């Protein structure tokens, strides 16, 4: 793919926001009627800007950054320590999406003065159902932006402003955001100089805003009345909670919120995501429910996957200084059981990429993500089903 217009037309944009940063705001991330953030207008770029975007865009390319000297698992990639972990601070553990590991590591980097700020994502105070990038300079601010934002976010829209501060900082983001950052680092040396830690959540997909709108519709609430929208947290997983300016409070259980996959409306890029396990991070953090779904509430347990020597030393130090609690080790096959949807997607990718090509769309170029090797695990029948399904999906998305 050679233009942003083409990426958007093929629905391979995931709305990471890089287009806004690279164009210095000439292309803004605008919500489409379907509830996706897309660069607008799509032709606002100079030729060098567009070349930079094409070299880094998650809709075009994905590349692992993990250290090749670490043990390699075909599904989970290069990894160091894999263990249960949770925040030592009970309020962080309770408020966070799962167990507060990402929040804790961000806070630790500030406390220990390894980072001047954390660049991440939080609720938009003006429209609390929506999300925006955020810079947190204190541990309290990091905690105020704890939790998962399941709707559209465009974290990289703010990356230029973060880099311009010329101070060391940590990034907490989705795997595709960190993948774009990694690709961009070969063109922008400030990234490797200033980004001291890259922390990812393992990610099953980003829903369009339609998912959140549907919930409001069911509750009979207009978005203009929403004063707080929390997708999960305050427990693990904790309920989805909506508060209104009129004082109403609604809570929906996690399983009820996500029981009907037909309503998830995740981005097309997510269905062909080759890097959802955070292979461009220093540490990736995952849910650890056996079988892949919660059976009730618990105190909060995460699984960490260390991806680099730096990630290893960060986890070790945060543990030694009493901020992070480490539990038993987890094997890659344990992770398979806890993330069966990730394994299914990973082995289906080669077939889905052929389906894209069948539909005339250039599939994502992957480096170091073992797509072809894992594709061999499908039977011929499964391969054909995945291939045809992907071709049909992309044709529908383009229409």
Q: Which residues would be at the binding site for ligand FAD (CB under 6 A)? A: 96-103, 106, 120-122, 145-150, 153, 155, 172-174, 177, 201-206, 285-287, 302, 339
Task: For residue 18, report the phi and psi dihedrals to the nearest 5 degrees.
Answer: -60, -35
- Which of residues 81 and 359 has its CB atom nearest to ligand FAD in the complex? 81
Q: Is the N-terminal amide bond of 38 cis, ω within 30° of 0?
A: no
- Interaction site with ligand SF4 (CB under 6 A): 4, 7, 13-19, 39, 53, 57-59, 174-176, 203, 205-206, 267, 269-270, 273, 276
- Which of residues 1 and 59 has its CB atom nearest to ligand FAD in the complex? 59
To ligand FAD, the closest distance from the beta carbon of 384 in angstroms equals 26
- Which of residues 22 and 156 has its CB atom nearest to ligand FAD in the complex? 156
DSSP per residue, 251-280: EE-HHHHHS-GGGT-B-HHHHT-S-TT-TT
To ligand SF4, the closest distance from the beta carbon of 386 in angstroms equals 17
> What is the Cα–Cα distance from 199 to 63, expressed in whole angstroms?
16
Strand boundaries in the chain, DSSP class E: 28-31, 37-40, 61-63, 72-73, 77-78, 82-87, 117-124, 127-136, 169-173, 195-201, 226-230, 240-244, 249-252, 283-287, 302-306, 324-329, 365-367
- Which of residues 136 and 153 has its CB atom nearest to ligand SF4 in the complex? 153
Choose the contact partner of 16 out of ligand SF4, ligand FAD, none; CB within 5 to 8 A by kind.
ligand SF4
- Which of residues 148 and 210 has its CB atom nearest to ligand FAD in the complex? 148
Choose the contact partner of 170 out of ligand FAD, ligand SF4, none; CB within 5 to 8 A by kind.
none
Q: H/E/C letters for each residue in 312-357?
A: HHHHHHHHHCCCEEEEEECCHHHHHHHCHHHHHHHHHHHHHHHHHH
To ligand SF4, the closest distance from the beta carbon of 38 in angstroms equals 7
Choose the contact partner of 97 out of ligand SF4, ligand FAD, none; CB within 5 to 8 A by kind.
ligand FAD
């Amino acid at each position: 793919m050679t233009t942003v217009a083409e990426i958007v037309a093929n629905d391979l944009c995931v709305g990471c926001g890089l287009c806004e940063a690279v164009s210095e705001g000439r292309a803004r991330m605008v919500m489409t009627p379907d509830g996706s953030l897309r660069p607008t207008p799509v032709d606002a770029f100079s030729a060098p800007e567009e070349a930079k975007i094409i070299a880094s865009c998650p809709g075009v390319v994905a590349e692992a950054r993990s250290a090749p000297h670490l043990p390699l698992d075909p599904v989970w990639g290069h990894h160091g320590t894999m263990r249960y972990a949770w925040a030592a601070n009970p309020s962080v553990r309770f408020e966070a999406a799962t167990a507060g590991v990402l929040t804790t590591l961000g806070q630790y980097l500030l406390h220990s003065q390894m980072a001047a700020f954390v660049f991440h994502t939080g609720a938009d105070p003006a429209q609390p159902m929506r999300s925006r990038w955020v810079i947190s300079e204190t541990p309290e601010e990091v905690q105020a932006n704890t939790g998962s934002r399941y709707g559209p976010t465009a974290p990289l829209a703010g990356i230029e402003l973060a880099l311009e501060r010329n101070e060391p900082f940590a990034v907490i983001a989705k795997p595709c955001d960190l993948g774009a950052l990694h690709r961009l680092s070969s063109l922008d040396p400030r990234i490797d100089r200033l980004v001291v830690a890259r922390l990812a959540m393992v990610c099953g997909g980003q829903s369009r805003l339609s998912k959140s709108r549907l919930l409001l519709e069911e509750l009979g609430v207009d978005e203009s009345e929403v004063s707080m929208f929390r997708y999960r947290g305050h427990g693990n997983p904790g309920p989805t909670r909506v508060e209104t300016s009129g004082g109403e409070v609604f809570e929906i259980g996690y399983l009820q919120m996500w029981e009907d996959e037909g309503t998830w409306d995740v981005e097309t890029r997510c269905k062909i995501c080759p890097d959802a396990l955070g292979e461009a991070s220093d540490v990736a953090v995952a849910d650890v429910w056996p079988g892949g779904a919660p059976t009730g509430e618990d105190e909060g347990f995460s699984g960490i996957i260390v991806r680099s020597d730096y990630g290893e030393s960060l986890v070790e130090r945060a543990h030694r200084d009493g901020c992070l609690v480490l539990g038993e080790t987890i094997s890659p096959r344990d992770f398979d059981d806890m993330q069966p949807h990730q394994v299914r997607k990973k082995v289906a990718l080669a077939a889905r990429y052929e389906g894209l090509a069948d539909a005339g769309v250039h599939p994502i170029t992957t480096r170091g993500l073992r797509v072809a090797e894992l594709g061999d695990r499908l039977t011929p029948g499964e391969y054909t089903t995945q291939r045809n399904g992907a071709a049909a999906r992309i044709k529908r998305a383009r229409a």
